[in-house]
Amino acid sequence: MDNLLAELQEVFRSVFDRPDLEIARESNAHDVEGWDSLNHINLIMALEKQYRVKFGLGELQDLENVGDLLDLLQGKIAAARG
């Protein structure tokens, strides 16, 4: 899981164009400068592309922080691997 968080951090750095960005499970849109609705869409699209998964709108509506996103992503990756 820590490895996935590190990978997720690199995606965040790329999407938000902030090479020094540090995220934690507790991080949320209020903590990350520039995390607005457009960058949220860019983030989700980048994760879908990198991990070859698809998120449903209903799944994304209940996310409150990076930890929730990480848990959802981990479940999607596990399901895709069968």
Where along the chain do its domains lie?
Answer: 2-76
Q: What is the mean pLDDT of residues 6-31?
A: 96
Using alpha carbons, select from 2, 7, 66 the residue that is nearest to residue 35: 66
- Return the CATH class of domain 2-76: mainly alpha
Q: What is the mean pLDDT of residues 39-53?
A: 96
% the chain with pLDDT above 70? 98
With 0.75 as the threshold, say if the pTM is over it.
yes
Using alpha carbons, select from 71, 49, 82, 54 the residue that is nearest to residue 4: 71
d(CA 11, CA 46): 7
- Residue 2 pLDDT more than 90? no
Q: Tell me if 15 sits within 8 A of 43, measured CB to CB.
A: yes
pLDDT of residue 1: 59
Name every residue whose Cβ is closer than 8 Å to that of residue 30 and which is 6 or more positions away in sequence.
none
- Residue 82 pLDDT more than 80? no
